Amino acid sequence: MGRWIQKILILILTFISISLSYGVERRALLVGINDYKNLPFFSKEKNTTIEDLKGPVNDAQRIKEILISYGWKEKEIKILTDREASRDGIISAFKEWLIEGTKEGDICFFYFSGHGTQIEDQNFDEDDGLDEALCAWDVKPQGARSVIEANLIIDDEWGVMFRKLSGRDVVAIVDACHSATVTTRSTEKISSYKMRFIPVRIEGARRGARAFSLNIPKQNDIPDGQIFFFSSKENERSFEFAYPDGFHGVFTFNLIEVLKRKKDITYRQAYEQVKSMIHEKDREGTILVQNPQIEPEKGKILDNIVFKPFVSWIPTESKPPKPVQPLKPRPPQEQKPKPPQKPQPIMPEPPPEIRGEKLIVKLEPIQGADLITSNLRNWLESLPHVELTEEEFFDRLIRGEKRDDQYRVRILNRIGDAVGIPPTSSLPELKESIGKQLDYAYLVKKLACITNPDPEFKVKVWVTDEKRQDFKIGEKIFFNFYSEMDCYLILLNLDSKGNFHIIFPNKYHRENFIIGGQTKTIPDKVMGFELEFGEPVGEEVIKAIATSRPLRLEEIGIERFDTLFDSTGNISVPVYTRAILVKKVHKNLSTGRFDWSEDTIVIRSHK
């Protein structure tokens, strides 16, 4: 009997020993760079000053916190910030911590937050003639004669390093931009956002020159079996914004919000939700051309749960022995199978910047009009839907000057996109114009709360042409809507003056049932009316809300259905009930009684 127990103990100890020696380990390398060695500097090419960042160190710390909340240990996470994140520092840490510090079957995570750039293609492997690169702390924006001297790490080099992690479960996230493409709209420089891009010029560099003296052949930058998140396309910008708790990359902030809400989420689901949330910024009036990317775009690998092993890996040559079975196994107790439950749609908690009931407004001194600034401040403080702030985080910024005896004021969103107020010498007129813009911004903010990043079905809305955003007064327009499944549609329109209209259902089509898999055009030939752009000019928000069960208009505060139609057959919501309407819509969608989805677009009209 004693020998039998001894043999069992030996088998158990052998199993534990082998399991420990081949257990899956985790390593994370996080890089965040705020203060660059050679910034700020003035770029003649871009005619602008390139500055340090404020968010990357915060980003790296928040990513560390989310990893720990998912079960990672501090000793498994290495962070490089600012001076530590030189070119040599990053490459050495990647080699020692990730490549040499892990083995096949382990989990590796890499994160970078900082400036990015593009340079001439070094080995003819890029269709656009440009190599993407991440900027180390000691990057030299000008004067360098090679990639190494410029202290860049280009995509080809990253490809070589990540290939050396073959056999591991690898996830990489890059929150930096590679292009300084500008929008077609005029913007002003403000402190609440920054673009993560440095224009780097390498002297004498030309396509195919291999100026970095590394013999890197043509190859796919993304190794097989690894997942990469990028904060934007290679020809787009990535931004950081001032949030209530400090600066963060827009992509990183929204990714963390997603990962905090649901911990059994897949990489595919996380990507789709983050992309949706970033596009939601457009719906607040911020024109953000930032489209996150994921590689690979397809494949079963994306259906793995975030931060969990892709596969259960054990070396084939040294499999641990099977555990000894009990001599008299006890039969399992019979359990009645539970009926399958359909998961309820999630009504996510809105991001911190839109949780409040008020519009956060920052007032800069009106140049040449100190008394007017004081008067405006007192007036703004009296508005029930406005909260004044002196911080860098705000929803709207009021800026202007007095010139030629007139007040010339602009209202800017968080990316510097400006809406001009008609010049006036009358303070009451100035207040009235500002008030209308703030009313609009407040309602847009409330509409932004109505979002479902993980819907049971997807919908899409567009005006006339999917690619168009700008229209002229008098131009005929059509609203188009598509749903993956049968649904009931409510189509809302908020114009630049804050006027609210319900486009669908309408006087000519009171039933709002939509057949799935088909495009619905409003108005169609049966409805018997046309729509055209009219005054006022400016930005308008179109929001489609689709539900699996009918959402009756009286439930969302639209009383007297038959009496509210205007000349076009649409419902014009009385001014004093606009905010109530949005609140009731949000409340009804939050009940969980039905599946729902939504889509929103921003369009503009011009004379």
Q: Is the peptide bond before 40 cis (omega within 30 degrees of 0)?
A: yes
How much is the pLDDT for 287? 53
Report, as ranges of residue numbers, the positions in the chain whose pLDDT lies below 50. Answer: 1, 4-5, 7-22, 125-128, 181-186, 206-214, 217, 283, 285, 312-355, 559-565, 569, 571
Q: Which helix (H) or strand (E) holds 554?
A: none
Angle at 26 between CA 21 and CA 30, to 5 degrees: 150
Distance of alpha carbon 358 from alpha carbon 307, whole angstroms: 37
Distance of alpha carbon 410 from alpha carbon 417, whole angstroms: 10
Say if residues 155 and 132 touch (Cβ distance below 8 Å): yes
Distance of alpha carbon 425 from alpha carbon 428, whole angstroms: 9
How much is the pLDDT for 440? 84
How much is the pLDDT for 15? 39
Structure tokens belonging to residue 146: 């090679």
Angle at 81 between CA 79 and CA 83, to 5 degrees: 135
Angle at 507 between CA 502 and CA 511, to 5 degrees: 80
Query: Which residues, in sequence order, are CB contacts of 570 under 8 Å at separation 6+?
Result: 493, 501, 502, 503, 506, 507
Angle at 339 between CA 336 and CA 344, to 5 degrees: 145
How crowded is the C-beta side of 326, counted as CA atoms within 13 Å? 4
How much is the pLDDT for 280? 58
List the beta bridge partners of residue 539.
604
Say if residues 52 and 35 touch (Cβ distance below 8 Å): yes
Say if residues 106 and 25 touch (Cβ distance below 8 Å): yes
Q: In what order do the strands lie in the sheet with 152-154?
A: 116-120, 130-135, 152-154
What backbone phi and psi angles, to 5 degrees, belong to 26? Answer: -125, 140
DSSP 485-530: S-EEEEEEEE-TT--EEEEESBTTB---EE-TTSEEEES-TTT---
Q: Model's pTM, two decimal places?
A: 0.67
3 state SS for 332-392 = CCCCCCCCCCCCCCCCCCCCHHHCCCCEEEEECCCECCHHHHHHHHHHHHHCCCEEECCCC
Structure tokens belonging to residue 563: 């009496």
Local structure of 480: helix, strand or coil: strand
How much is the pLDDT for 341? 40
Taking the CB of residue 311, how many other CB atoms lie within 10 A of it?
10
Structure tokens belonging to residue 93: 């840490």
How much is the pLDDT for 121? 67
Structure tokens belonging to residue 47: 């005619």
Structure tokens belonging to residue 38: 């050679």
Nearest alpha carbon to residue 289 among 180, 410, 411, 441: 180
How far out from the chain centre does Cα 355 lie? 17
Query: Which residues, in sequence order, are CB contacts of 272 under 8 Å at separation 6+?
Result: 453, 454
Local structure of 305: helix, strand or coil: strand
Say if residues 395 and 441 touch (Cβ distance below 8 Å): yes
Exposed (0-12), middle (13-18) or buried (19+): which is 295, by Cβ within 10 Å?
middle
Query: Which residues, in sequence order, are CB contacts of 520 under 8 Å at separation 6+?
Result: 480, 481, 482, 489, 514
Say if residues 76 and 29 touch (Cβ distance below 8 Å): no
How much is the pLDDT for 44? 76
For β-strands 513-514 and 487-494, DSSP reports them as antiparallel
Structure tokens belonging to residue 58: 């915060």
What backbone phi and psi angles, to 5 degrees, belong to 442? Answer: -65, -45
